[in-house]
């Protein structure tokens, strides 16, 4: 990592650098230093270097955050001194001094990690004000109202964030002054009133914290810095990192920057925006602003801001400059920018720029537009789309016919597209509790705050009464790909009463509500949804010509296909799944679980007869009945794969999975006996119970399953190979290409595989003779038990291909039961013993090492060995990077994950080398 090389390349006598200055056209850092400066710090440095109007400041690096935690909430004196030196430098650049009664310097203190975590950590504005400096500010600006408004904001923020006094305590005082003076809006309060607010706030702070409000700005700065570091470990930030897989150890930087003021009057303002619409991807300047306000007013959703185009009328010069700068930034970064600005007395300042979070839909539109505009190459465009976000494009929408039938109750701002329908809940905790009971909920809030993140995560959608397109709910909703509507102003929410009113309609907790995150319409009803446009095209119900988004999606994935090295196959058991997978771009089947076909209509009784047979002849009779059924299934699957390789696995699960439960049978037998019904039915039940008891296993997952079934009942392998090969012959005779790969599961001994391979080869010879044709086929194995990995060199003497079964391999490497691990894995994650669920994302260190060993040893014996993976990890982005690195031939994923896998494989090819 860059910080390690940096440390090494420095002479050891020189002290390490922890603080990075930016100002007056020059910065110590740049855009590549996100690890150290965080996204915000790196962006400020880069903008400063580019000569943009950025207020000066400095960034305390993320390393200091880690030191703060290591030293048990203390910052070493040397770092304190380095910070103080930078304060002096900042005072010089700003031409103002902290605490001065003539020209006081005010600063903002903001968090900023490598990855943006909107609203999760803390910020303090107007720091540096005290009873003297506020008079200095008044003198300098000739604006007493502004000076005291800034001071009261500072006390409130500092009081809340640093002294941990609840916001309500301040709100209460503020409302009291407003009421006493008959003021409706905050802006109605004059200097005198605000002086009173400040007095009351200081008293509140003292009463609640037990000490006077700190007056020394240097002390304030230290306290604020530490509070920002503390906020790295607050519950919502931890939860956010867990959801987005952001490691805890990277820490946050702290940015200290000269304040500029959007609240000096009507020639000032503040806003946020995007260079393109982050919900739809449309090429439009997008954002909002507030006149006479500070930044937090926009994001918090307290006042509903104005759309940014209106800025053109109010302050045309600043607007023009803002457009120029942001267009330049988009070209410079080759990505959509999310920016913050402040206009102080008509002078524009840039406070932040970063890559803009967007919906999956917008990501695809933007990436394809960027290529059309020649802003990026297809290779760069691929990297602009997060593979996971493609899932959002597959999410359902409402049936337009159904949707039209229901009257619209209200309309809000369409913050994040998608159809949401569910039962109303009014708190994030309820959303979680109801979801755990299997209900689908829509989270309805006045406004959402960062603490709601857990509820937003589980809800079908998020609907708020206040806030703008860049309020917290909108930003987080978009990022999660959750349908979201904000600022549905007709919605009056009575959270305590657990109800809401829209016009004369009352919506109670548990009532159904639906909304369309693209149009902003809200309806009080449950509305059935319909498949996404892309799914409609893929399944053939909509023409690709009619769907702009499908064509873009397809273009992007076709680009991805050019760069990826990994093949993409699907886990599909039935012809219709194979068809969908092929349409999504899978080229081959990596796993067809034949036993799933046993559950088809009318088949279970035959399967049960096969299992219940206590002699080979009876078992063969049942198998003869199954043969044509399986053959037809295989024929269908082969056909849907249009000549691509199809890996079919012989039976894998323990046989009792196909029989009724032992307890149920015991009840049935007891019932028949007590009712005196002593005939054939009772005898049959008893026989079944007897066989179920015979088949009972203490550890079925480690028991009579996989290759062990084929070894003890060779006739099953015979029937399945015959069905596969007869189907293949039929296709070949019809002039179609077919590549069958017969896969034996759960092999740990080469002799197991040899035994089964002999059967397959014998059956193949018979079938080819009978059919008068020969089909090229392969026999291989799953590598899913540790012994298989360890002896992969031996196994490869028989196997023509390997497919890693990482579900079982994870189970057996960890010794965690696949079926029971849910009970304790969450605790492991909470206790930081595991970062992620190893069944969802490959454990590269342990299970991954097993895979790497299998690859190396297998290829030693057979250099051209085909290597695949068909466990659930085949559709997981991080795992795909790993599989690319260890040099597998292909990944196999469920049909709906195919687009994600195609893009993730391209990302892997463009960012990691095989063998790295």
The answer to the question of residue 875 lying near ligand PEP (CB under 6 A) is no
The answer to the question of residue 891 lying near ligand PEP (CB under 6 A) is no
Stretch that binds ligand PEP, among 40-48, 343-351, 482-490, 806-814 (CB under 6 A): 806-814
Q: Count of residues binding ligand PEP (CB under 6 A)?
A: 10
Nearer CB in complex with Mg ion: 163/753: 753
3-state secondary structure of 803: strand
CA neighbor of 102 nearest in space, from 134, 126, 124, 73: 134
- Structure tokens of 463? 């609907």
Question: Closest approach of Cβ 653 to ligand PEP, in Å?
Answer: 7
For ligand PEP, the binding residue among 652, 715, 741, 752 (CB under 6 A) is 652
Q: 591 vs 429, 484, 523, 637, 874, CA distance in Å?
A: 40, 37, 43, 11, 11
Inter-residue long-range contacts of 321-327, CB under 8 Å, 24+ positions, other chains counted: 321/348, 322/273, 322/348, 323/285, 325/52, 325/53, 325/350, 326/273, 326/275, 326/285, 326/353, 327/275
Where on the phi/psi map is residue 643: left (φ > 0), alpha (ψ -120 to 50), or beta? left
CB atoms within 10 A of CB 333: 17
Length of the chain: 916
For ligand PEP, the binding residue among 806, 813, 889, 894 (CB under 6 A) is 806
CB atoms within 10 A of CB 312: 14
Question: Closest approach of Cβ 781 to Mg ion, in Å?
Answer: 11
Question: Closest approach of Cβ 810 to ligand PEP, in Å?
Answer: 8
Q: Where are the beta strands (DSSP E) in 531-584?
A: 567-571
For ligand PEP, the binding residue among 870, 891, 908, 909 (CB under 6 A) is 870
Instruction: Please name the residues in contact with 904: beta carbons below 8 A apart, sequence gap of 6 or more.
Output: 387, 877, 880, 881
The answer to the question of residue 807 lying near ligand PEP (CB under 6 A) is yes
**C-alpha dihedral (269, 274, 280, 281), degrees to nearest 10:** 150
- Structure tokens of 120? 């999760």
Interactions with ligand PEP, residue window 552-591 (CB under 6 A): 591
3-state secondary structure of 125: strand
Stretch that binds ligand PEP, among 416-424, 427-435, 449-457, 802-810 (CB under 6 A): 802-810
Stretch that binds ligand PEP, among 63-71, 361-369, 707-715, 805-813 (CB under 6 A): 805-813
The answer to the question of residue 789 lying near ligand PEP (CB under 6 A) is no
Measured from each CB, the residue nearest to Mg ion is: 808
Report the interface residues with Mg ion, using CB under 5 A.
784, 805, 808
The answer to the question of residue 37 lying near ligand PEP (CB under 6 A) is no
Question: Closest approach of Cβ 851 to ligand PEP, in Å?
Answer: 11
For ligand PEP, the binding residue among 412, 788, 805, 899 (CB under 6 A) is 805
DSSP 772-818: T-----EEEEEE-SHHHHHTHHHHTTT-SEEEE-HHHHHHHHHT--T
Nearer CB in complex with ligand PEP: 19/795: 795
- Structure tokens of 825? 């894995």
**What residues are paired with 463 via a beta bridge?**
444, 485
Nearer CB in complex with ligand PEP: 213/839: 839
Annotated catalytic residue 870? yes
Residue 430's binding partner among Mg ion, ligand PEP, none (Cβ under 5 to 8 angstroms by kind) is none
The answer to the question of residue 784 lying near ligand PEP (CB under 6 A) is yes
Question: Closest approach of Cβ 623 to Mg ion, in Å?
Answer: 23
- Helix/strand/coil (H/E/C) assignment for every residue in 475-536: HHHHHHCCCEEECCCCEEEECCCCEEEECCEEEECCCEEEEECCCCEEECCCCCEECCHHHH
Can you tell me the distance from the alpha carbon of 356 to that of 363, in angstroms, rounded to the nearest whole number? 10
Stretch that binds ligand PEP, among 491-499, 687-695, 747-755, 800-808 (CB under 6 A): 800-808
CB atoms within 10 A of CB 737: 12
Question: Closest approach of Cβ 593 to ligand PEP, in Å?
Answer: 6
Can you tell me the distance from the alpha carbon of 351 to that of 344, in angstroms, rounded to the nearest whole number? 12
Residue 732's binding partner among ligand PEP, Mg ion, none (Cβ under 5 to 8 angstroms by kind) is none
For ligand PEP, the binding residue among 122, 386, 808, 876 (CB under 6 A) is 808
Question: Closest approach of Cβ 371 to Mg ion, in Å?
Answer: 41
Annotated catalytic residue 873? no
The answer to the question of residue 813 lying near ligand PEP (CB under 6 A) is no
CA neighbor of 250 nearest in space, from 93, 475, 64: 64
Active-site annotation holder among 86, 870, 873, 884: 870
CA neighbor of 906 nearest in space, from 373, 390, 336: 390
Can you tell me the distance from the alpha carbon of 18 to that of 62, in angstroms, rounded to the nearest whole number? 8
- Structure tokens of 351? 């406070």
The answer to the question of residue 527 lying near ligand PEP (CB under 6 A) is no
CA neighbor of 110 nearest in space, from 343, 348, 295: 295
The answer to the question of residue 871 lying near ligand PEP (CB under 6 A) is yes
Nearer CB in complex with Mg ion: 214/805: 805
Can you tell me the distance from the alpha carbon of 789 to that of 813, in angstroms, rounded to the nearest whole number? 11
Question: Closest approach of Cβ 712 to ligand PEP, in Å?
Answer: 19
Nearer CB in complex with Mg ion: 613/867: 867
Residue 593's binding partner among Mg ion, ligand PEP, none (Cβ under 5 to 8 angstroms by kind) is ligand PEP
CA neighbor of 471 nearest in space, from 271, 315, 310, 260: 271
Nearer CB in complex with ligand PEP: 79/870: 870
Interactions with ligand PEP, residue window 96-155 (CB under 6 A): none
Active-site annotation holder among 86, 454, 472, 656: 472
Question: Closest approach of Cβ 577 to ligand PEP, in Å?
Answer: 15
The answer to the question of residue 477 lying near ligand PEP (CB under 6 A) is no
Q: Can you tell me which residue has the tokens 């914290």?
A: 209
Nearer CB in complex with ligand PEP: 754/818: 818
Nearer CB in complex with Mg ion: 258/742: 742
Can you tell me the distance from the alpha carbon of 612 to that of 581, in angstroms, rounded to the nearest whole number? 36
Nearer CB in complex with Mg ion: 435/803: 803
Residue 806's binding partner among Mg ion, ligand PEP, none (Cβ under 5 to 8 angstroms by kind) is ligand PEP
Can you tell me the distance from the alpha carbon of 57 to that of 787, in angstroms, rounded to the nearest whole number? 59
Residue 186's binding partner among Mg ion, ligand PEP, none (Cβ under 5 to 8 angstroms by kind) is none
Nearer CB in complex with ligand PEP: 392/594: 594
The answer to the question of residue 593 lying near ligand PEP (CB under 6 A) is yes
Contact 860, 791 (CB under 8 A): no
Contact 646, 690 (CB under 8 A): no
Q: Please, how many CA atoms are within 13 Å of residue 561, restricted to the half-sphere of its CB?
A: 14
Stretch that binds ligand PEP, among 119-127, 249-257, 382-390, 801-809 (CB under 6 A): 801-809
Question: Closest approach of Cβ 808 to Mg ion, in Å?
Answer: 4
Question: Closest approach of Cβ 204 to ligand PEP, in Å?
Answer: 60
- What's the DSSP call for residue 852? H
Stretch that binds ligand PEP, among 74-82, 110-118, 395-403, 799-807 (CB under 6 A): 799-807
Nearer CB in complex with Mg ion: 489/840: 840
CA neighbor of 462 nearest in space, from 393, 504, 412: 412
Nearer CB in complex with Mg ion: 204/810: 810
Can you tell me the distance from the alpha carbon of 127 to that of 125, in angstroms, rounded to the nearest whole number? 6
- Catalogue the active-site residues: 472, 870
Q: Which residues bind ligand PEP (CB under 6 A)?
A: 591, 593, 652, 784, 805-808, 870-871
């Amino acid at each position: 990592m860059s910080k390690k090389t940096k440390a090494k390349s420095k002479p050891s006598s020189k002290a390490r650098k922890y603080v990075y200055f930016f100002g007056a056209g020059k910065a110590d850092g740049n855009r590549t230093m996100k690890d150290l400066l965080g996204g915000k710090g790196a962006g400020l440095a880069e903008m400063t270097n580019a000569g943009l109007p950025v207020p000066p400041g400095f960034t305390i690096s993320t390393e200091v955050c880690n030191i703060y935690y290591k030293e048990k909430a203390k910052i070493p004196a040397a770092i304190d001194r380095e910070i103080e030196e930078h304060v002096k430098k900042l005072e010089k650049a700003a031409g103002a001094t902290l605490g001065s009664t003539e020209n006081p310097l005010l600063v903002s203190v903001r968090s900023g990690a490598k990855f943006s975590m909107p609203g999760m950590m803390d910020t303090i504005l107007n720091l540096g004000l005290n009873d003297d400096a506020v008079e200095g500010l008044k003198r300098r600006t000739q604006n007493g109202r502004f000076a005291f408004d800034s001071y009261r904001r500072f006390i409130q923020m500092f009081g809340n964030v640093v002294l941990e006094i609840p916001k309500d305590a301040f709100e209460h005082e503020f409302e009291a002054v407003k009421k006493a003076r008959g003021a409706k809006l905050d802006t109605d309060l004059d200097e005198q009133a605000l002086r009173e607010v400040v007095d009351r706030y200081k008293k509140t702070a003292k009463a609640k914290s037990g000490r006077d409000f700190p007056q020394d700005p240097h002390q304030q700065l230290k306290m604020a810095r530490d509070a920002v570091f503390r906020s790295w470990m607050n519950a919502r930030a931890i939860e956010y990192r867990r959801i987005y897989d952001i490691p805890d150890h990277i820490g946050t930087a702290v940015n200290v920057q000269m304040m500029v003021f959007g609240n000096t009057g009507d020639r000032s303002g503040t806003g946020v925006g995007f260079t393109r619409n982050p919900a739809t991807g449309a090429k439009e300047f997008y954002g909002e602003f507030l006149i006479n306000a500070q930044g937090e007013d926009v994001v918090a959703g307290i006042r509903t801001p104005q759309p940014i185009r209106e800025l053109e009328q109010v302050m045309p010069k600043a607007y023009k400059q803002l457009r120029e700068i942001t267009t330049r930034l988009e070209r410079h970064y080759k990505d959509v920018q999310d920016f913050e600005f402040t206009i102080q007395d008509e002078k524009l300042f840039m406070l932040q720029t970063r890559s803009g979070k967007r919906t999956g839909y917008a990501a695809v539109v933007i990436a394809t537009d960027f290529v059309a505009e020649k802003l990026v190459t297809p290779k760069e465009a691929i990297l602009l789309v997060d593979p996971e976000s493609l899932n959002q494009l597959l999410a359902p929408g409402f049936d337009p016919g159904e949707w039209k039938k229901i009257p619209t109750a209200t309309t809000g701002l369409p913050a994040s597209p998608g159809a949401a329908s569910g039962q109303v809940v009014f708190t994030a905790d309820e959303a979680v509790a109801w979801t755990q009971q299997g209900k689908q909920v829509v989270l309805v809030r006045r406004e959402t705050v960062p603490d709601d993140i857990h509820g937003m995560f589980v809800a079908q959608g998020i609907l708020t009464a206040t806030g703008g397109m860049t309020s917290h709910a909108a930003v987080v909703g978009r990022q999660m790909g959750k349908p979201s509507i904000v600022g549905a102003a007709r919605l009056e929410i009575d959270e305590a009463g657990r109800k809401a009113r829209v016009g004369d309609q009352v919506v109670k907790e548990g009532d159904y509500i639906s909304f369309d995150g693209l149009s902003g319409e809200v309806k009080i009803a449950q509305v059935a949804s319909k498949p996404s446009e892309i799914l409609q095209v893929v399944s053939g119900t909509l023409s690709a010509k009619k769907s702009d988004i499908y064509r873009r999606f397809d273009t992007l994935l076709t680009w991805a296909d050019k760069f990826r090295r990994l093949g993409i196959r699907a886990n599909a058991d039935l012809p219709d799944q194979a068809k969908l997978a092929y349409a999504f771009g899978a080229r081959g089947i990596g796993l067809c679980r034949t036993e799933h076909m046993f559950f088809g209509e009318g088949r279970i009784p035959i399967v049960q007869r096969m299992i219940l047979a206590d002699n080979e002849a009876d078992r063969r009779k049942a198998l003869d009945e199954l043969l044509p059924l399986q053959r037809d299934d295989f024929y269908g699957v082969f056909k849907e794969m249009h000549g691509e390789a199809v890996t079919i696995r012989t039976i894998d699960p323990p046989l009792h999975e196909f029989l009724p439960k032992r307890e149920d049978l015991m009840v049935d037998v007891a019932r028949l006996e007590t009712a005196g019904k002593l005939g054939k039915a009772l005898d049959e039940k008893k026989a079944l119970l007897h066989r179920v008891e015979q088949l009972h296993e203490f550890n079925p997952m480690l028991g009579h399953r996989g290759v062990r079934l084929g070894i003890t009942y060779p006739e099953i392998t015979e029937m399945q190979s015959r069905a596969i090969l007869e189907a293949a012959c039929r296709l070949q005779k019809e002039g179609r290409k077919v590549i069958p790969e017969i896969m034996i599961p759960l092999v740990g001994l080469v002799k197991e595989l040899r035994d089964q391979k002999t059967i397959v080869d014998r059956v193949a010879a018979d079938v080819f003779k009978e059919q008068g044709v020969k089909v090229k086929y392969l026999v291989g194995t799953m590598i899913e038990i540790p012994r298989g990995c360890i002896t992969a060199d031996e196994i490869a003497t028989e196997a023509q291909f390997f497919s890693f079964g990482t579900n079982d391999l994870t189970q057996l490497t960890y010794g965690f039961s696949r079926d029971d691990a849910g009970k304790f894995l969450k605790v492991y994650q909470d206790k930081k013993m595991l970062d992620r669920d190893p069944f969802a994302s490959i454990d590269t260190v342990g299970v991954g090492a097993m895979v790497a060993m299998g690859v190396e040893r297998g290829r030693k014996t057979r250099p051209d060995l085909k290597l695949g993976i068909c466990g659930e990890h085949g559709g997981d982005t991080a795992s795909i990077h790993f599989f690319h690195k260890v040099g597998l031939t292909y990944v196999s994923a469920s049909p709906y994950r195919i687009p994600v896998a195609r893009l993730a494989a391209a990302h892997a090819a463009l960012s990691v080398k095989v063998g790295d």
